[in-house]
């Protein structure tokens, strides 16, 4: 079945450091790919998405590129802030299905 | 504004009692979901519903029950059969077309006292 694997956390960075959170997926079809963010005590919010190969999703300085050849959707940000501290979930949704498949989440701590 | 509303935000329950968590959406979505999240953990699917009057068990349905009598509403009951109910519960909705994002509520934190 479909699955999403993302790097284990926690990831601890200093402010203004470069962020990469790796995400790879397994899918039977041609899914859409998503990154969600969860701030402490809150629900998940969609951060960005990509719906076809080579698409780049971007939002709030974060970006991720849909790489079909490597089945990857790595999240990057050039300069993190303390306010980026949260849990990040990679996810996919298949055509013909409706459930979203989530990765295990990666907790990010950013130190001032 | 369209969205999903979960209530209450915090809930305390005595052992042996059933408790119902509310989830309402005005996004006109057909599909709705309940997830459980334990501290420092990911999401585990409890129940989901693709359409009104129909629902399916997820990965951890034991000790929980749901109903889907209206498109807008998908309440979750945590029964006394659930051995370890203290957790953060998240409700979500989406279209049932696939390849679209899910929208989440703000969550309900349930504590058994």
Interface of chain B toward chain A, CB-CB under 8 angstroms: 4, 6, 31, 33, 40-43, 45, 48, 50, 90, 92, 94-107, 109
Q: Among B63, B111, B68, B62, which Cα is nearest to B91's? A: B68
Tens digits of residue pLDDT in B55-110: 999 999 999 999 999 999 999 999 998 989 999 999 999 998 888 899 999 999 99
Q: Does pLDDT of A43 surpass 70?
A: yes
User: What would the DSSP string read from start to end of A18-78?
Assistant: -EEE-EEEE-SS--EEEEEEE-TTS-EEEEEEE-STT-EEEETTEEEE-BTTTTB--EEES
Per CB-CB distance under 8 Å, the chain A contacts of B104 are 36, 43-45
Does residue B1 surpass a pLDDT of 70?
Answer: no
What is the pLDDT at residue B12? 94
Measured between beta carbons, the chain B residues lying within 8 angstroms of A49 are 101
Kindly give the pairing relationship between strand A106-111 and strand A62-65.
unpaired
Round to whole Å and give the CA distance between B46 and B62. 8
Sheet holding B19-25, edge to edge: B4-7, B19-25, B76-78, B64-66
Interface residue of B4, B34, B87, B101 to substitute, partner A, most A CBs within 10 Å: B101
């Amino acid at each position: 079945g479909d699955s999403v694997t993302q790097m284990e956390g926690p990831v601890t960075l200093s402010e203004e450091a470069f962020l990469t959170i790796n995400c790879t997926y397994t899918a039977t079809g041609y899914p859409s790919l998503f990154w969600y963010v969860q701030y402490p005590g809150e629900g998940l919010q969609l951060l960005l998405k990509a719906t076809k190969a080579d698409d780049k999703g971007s939002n709030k300085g974060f970006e991720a590129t849909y790489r079909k050849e490597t089945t990857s959707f790595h999240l990057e940000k050039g300069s993190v802030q303390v306010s980026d501290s949260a849990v990040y979930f990679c996810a996919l949704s298949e055509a013909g299905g409706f459930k979203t498949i989530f990765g295990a989440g990666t907790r990010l701590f950013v130190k001032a | 504004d369209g969205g999903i509303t979960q209530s209450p935000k915090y809930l305390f329950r005595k052992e042996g009692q059933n408790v119902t968590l509310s989830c309402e959406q005005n996004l006109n979505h057909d599909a709705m979901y309940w997830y459980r999240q334990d501290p420092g953990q990911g999401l585990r699917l409890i129940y989901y519903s693709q359409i009104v009057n129909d629902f399916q068990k997820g990965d951890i349905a034991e000790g929980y029950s749901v109903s889907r009598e209206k498109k807008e509403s998908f309440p979750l009951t945590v029964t006394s059969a659930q051995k370890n109910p203290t957790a953060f519960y998240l409700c979500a909705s989406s279209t049932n077309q696939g390849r679209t994002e899910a929208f989440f509520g703000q969550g309900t934190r349930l504590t058994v006292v």
